[in-house]
Amino acid sequence: MVKRLLAARHTVNGYNRTKARGEWLLPLGMIWGETPRAVADAGDLIFTMVSDTEALLSVTEGPEGLLPALGSSKIFVDMSTVSPSASKELALRIAAQGSQMLDAPVSGSAITLEGGQLSIMVGGDPAAFEQVKPVLQDIGPTVNYVGVNGLALAMKLAINLSLPVQFLTFCEGLLLAEKAGIDRATAVEVLLNSVIASPSLKYRAPLILDMPDEPLFDVNMIKKDLPLALDMGRELNVPMPTTAVADQWLTAARGMGLADFDYAVMYRILARLAGVEE
């Protein structure tokens, strides 16, 4: 994302808790900030993308966090997938300081980002959204405003719960075909040429045949999103049986020591139970 912003000739000050992971951007023009607050002090538009709610609070709270630097007229855009209720509470605190917060999670992966196909959903003040929209479009071409603070996160969870659910059923169909005598690679190809092939399946199903060393979306990360979605379901009285089942399979993956693999590793678990060689 930073690379795309720099390519669009934006001035970017950046910080990462593990500095080594961000240093490659310095020769491209990013200016390093030693703390979250230093980054927030340097600009009027501040972005964060972190792993979970706890990480978001760690970069916003305290004397070196973002909050003390969010005075009047600044806009804070959090692109993380975190608890909608925690995000809304943070937005109220920032509004009380005279600034605006938008929740703007993304749908896609490194593959879609590099291909210029990332989509972004945004919740918060409409005027702040219109101000930020051109910058967001430099990151991804599809930017949708969905309503007040917290609703973009609700939308993101509605999307993300489908990812492991779809993949789990794909694995079941693949194993059925494979155990019936069809070559695994052939079955994957046929399934991905059929009507069931969603964009997410098209780039994840090949990982069954060749698991990458660097996951696109590991078990721990997708496992973090499903309980958030299930909590929303309980609050809103929405039954979510397939989400609950997928969450249990991801729990099994963690219990088997596979948490750091891409969640395509769910196939391995089913394959073992089906008596199929991995």
pLDDT digits (tens, 9 = 90+) for 82-100: 999 999 999 999 999 889 9
**CA 224 from centroid of its chain's CA atoms:** 10
pLDDT, position 201? 95
pLDDT, position 71? 80
3-state secondary structure of 256: coil
pLDDT over threshold 80, residue 113: no
Of 39-43, 111-115, 205-209, 232-236, where does mean pLDDT reach its minimum?
111-115
d(CA 64, CA 80): 20
pLDDT, position 161? 95
| pTM confidence score | 0.89
**Terminal Cα-to-Cα distance of the chain (whole angstroms):** 35
Query: Confidence band (pLDDT; 50, 70, 90) for 73?
Result: confident
Query: Confidence band (pLDDT; 50, 70, 90) for 277?
Result: confident
pLDDT over threshold 80, residue 158: yes
At 248-258, the pLDDT tens digits run 999 999 999 99
Strand positions, DSSP E, the chain:
13-14, 31-32, 45-48, 75-78, 100-103, 106-107, 119-123, 142-147
Domain architecture of the chain: domains with CATH:
2-148 (3.40.50.720), 161-274 (1.10.1040.10)
d(CA 261, CA 278): 15
pLDDT over threshold 90, residue 47: yes
Give the H or E element holding residue 250. Answer: helix 241-255
Of 108-112, 204-208, 223-227, where does mean pLDDT reach its minimum?
108-112
At 238-251, the pLDDT tens digits run 999 999 999 999 99
pLDDT, position 121? 96
Query: Confidence band (pLDDT; 50, 70, 90) for 37?
Result: very high
3-state secondary structure of 194: coil
- Mean pLDDT (whole number) for 106-125: 82
pLDDT, position 72? 79
Query: Confidence band (pLDDT; 50, 70, 90) for 75?
Result: very high
At 4-33, the pLDDT tens digits run 999 999 999 999 989 999 999 999 999 999
